[in-house]
Structure 1
Amino acid sequence: MTPAAAISMLDRQIRDHGEDVKLRAQDAADDGSQDIARRAFVRDYRPGELSGGIEQGDREVILSPTGLGADPQRLGGLFVGDRYCTIEVANPVRLAGAVVRWNLQVRG
């Protein structure tokens, strides 16, 4: 599988089964005028996954690199519904050296 094919499959799955989130840069105005609307998979961590800095209430957010342009860790946070979450960890998943998805640990 090529990186482009993997990204295309992820984009399709997120479009069909994901939910809307809004990304916010660390230095953005609080009025939401600079928020970036995206689709993502959002899920709560299971009890067995609560270790290594993952706390109850944290969530995993999966983003596609399509149109992202930067490391999500530099964004600062995102809104899931009306709830603001800070990005604690942003782990890239690579295929043949190219980032094909971002796994975020968010808190809030």
Structure 2
Amino acid sequence: MRPTQALRGGGGDVPLGRHNKYLGGWGNFGGQKQKGIITYTMSPNRQNPIAGAAHDAIFNTWRRFSKQVLYFAPPLIGFYYAMSWAIDRNHYLNSKEGRKEFADSE
């Protein structure tokens, strides 16, 4: 197997590839010209790039949020209550009453 020959500009009948044919430059691979392709364009100053952006943003955000809320809300609520309990317990254990209650256990 030999490495592919590098294209160095020009064209013509430079052998390249399996069939020793030059395929042409980028975007022109030596095939037939395409027919029947119609393209329509609109002038940039006639376009409204933010048409419906606020409406789509609200409803698309709600749709995506409602699909994902059950994946992150239960663990978030659980960790919030666990952290709240831990903070309250820490405050109690470091208070005067907590130290008095657990002074013997150390």
Q: TM-score range by the shorter chain?
A: under 0.3
> TM-score scaled to structure 1, two decimals?
0.16
Structure with greater Cα Rg:
2
Higher helix share: 2
Which structure has the higher relative contact order (CA within 8 Å, separation 6+)?
1
> TM-score scaled to structure 2, two decimals?
0.17
Higher strand share: 1
